[in-house]
């Protein structure tokens, strides 16, 4: 691989994850029930149909970084494109957390929902980082990693893809991640 994905992509992904752990603000009273996320929203079948790779769902787990974060990880059924031992796709549901992207992230228009100014950075509700790579089997550059963070009202969603050993069997990894985010934002949005 001509680009060392691990040294370039994961510091950026880690920066987004670490910085996005900031609390948006004290949540206002709302007539709407708080959406409790679950990994069934991104089932194995949905991931396979969306990204075209056969995956196994790992056991979901919660972490608390100021507020709860649900991790939904997916490994390839047969490891071809992913880093061994690391998920090829990860979806995080971050309760009451805003996004403050690190260097290299670019805003994404028409995605997400900023309900309050404090929950958005620079007036944007979605941020993207993508990494290109080549391999001896795929000499044409392909998208080898994506990190997409999207504000869902006062919550946020992060979708991470890491496929350094070859392209996913979709026309556009970034557009596919954005399409999935649009579906998830509707479920996880909280005023």
pLDDT band at 176 (very low <50, low <70, confident <90, very high): very high
Residue 36 lies in a domain: no
pLDDT digits (tens, 9 = 90+) for 61-108: 999 978 999 999 999 999 999 999 999 999 999 998 878 888 899 999
Instruction: Please determine, for residue 14, whether its predicted confidence score (pLDDT) is greater than 90.
Output: no
CA-CA distances (angstroms) from residue 4 to 9, 10, 13, 45, 186?
A: 9, 10, 15, 31, 35
Tell me how far apart the alpha carbons of residues 67 and 111 are, in angstroms, rounded to a whole number.
Answer: 23
Tell me how far apart the alpha carbons of residues 106 and 103 are, in angstroms, rounded to a whole number.
Answer: 9
pLDDT band at 115 (very low <50, low <70, confident <90, very high): low
- The residue behind tokens 């992230």 is 105
pLDDT digits (tens, 9 = 90+) for 18-32: 334 333 333 444 445
Note the pLDDT of residue 154. Answer: 84
Residue 165 lies in a domain: no
Say if strands 142-153 and 155-162 run parallel, antiparallel, or are unpaired: antiparallel
Residue 74 lies in a domain: yes
Q: How much is the average pLDDT of 154-174?
A: 95
Between 116 and 191, the higher pLDDT residue:
191
Please list, in sequence order, all residues whose beta carbon lies within 8 angstroms of the beta carbon of residue 12, skipping any fewer than 6 positions away. Answer: 102, 103, 104, 105, 129, 131, 147
Instruction: Please name the helix (run of DSSP H) or strand (run of DSSP E) that holds residue 74, with its range, or none.
Output: strand 67-76
Q: Which domain holds residue 15?
A: 1-22+63-113
**Cβ–Cβ < 8 Å for 143, 174:** yes
Q: Residue 21 has which token pair?
A: 């752990």
Domain count across the chain:
1
Note the pLDDT of residue 116. Answer: 57
pLDDT band at 189 (very low <50, low <70, confident <90, very high): confident
Stated length of the chain: 191
Residue 34 lies in a domain: no
């Amino acid at each position: 691989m001509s680009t060392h994905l691990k040294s370039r992509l994961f510091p950026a992904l880690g920066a987004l994850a670490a910085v996005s752990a900031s609390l948006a603000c004290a949540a206002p009273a709302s007539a709407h029930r708080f959406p409790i996320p679950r990994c069934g929203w991104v089932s194995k079948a949905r991931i396979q149909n969306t990204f075209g790779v056969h995956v196994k769902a790992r056991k979901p787990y919660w972490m608390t970084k100021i507020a709860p974060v649900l991790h939904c990880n997916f490994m390839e059924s047969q490891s071809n494109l992913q880093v061994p031992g690391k998920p090829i796709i990860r979806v995080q549901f971050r309760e009451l957390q805003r996004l403050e992207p690190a260097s290299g992230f670019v805003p994404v228009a028409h995605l997400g929902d900023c309900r309050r100014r404090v929950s958005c950075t620079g007036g944007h509700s979605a941020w993207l980082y993508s990494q290109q790579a080549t391999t001896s089997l795929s000499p044409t550059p392909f998208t080898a990693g994506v990190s997409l963070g999207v504000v869902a009202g006062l919550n946020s969603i992060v979708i991470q893809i890491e496929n350094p050993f070859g392209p996913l069997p979709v026309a556009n990894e970034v557009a596919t991640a954005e399409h999935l985010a649009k579906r998830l934002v509707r479920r996880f949005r909280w005023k």
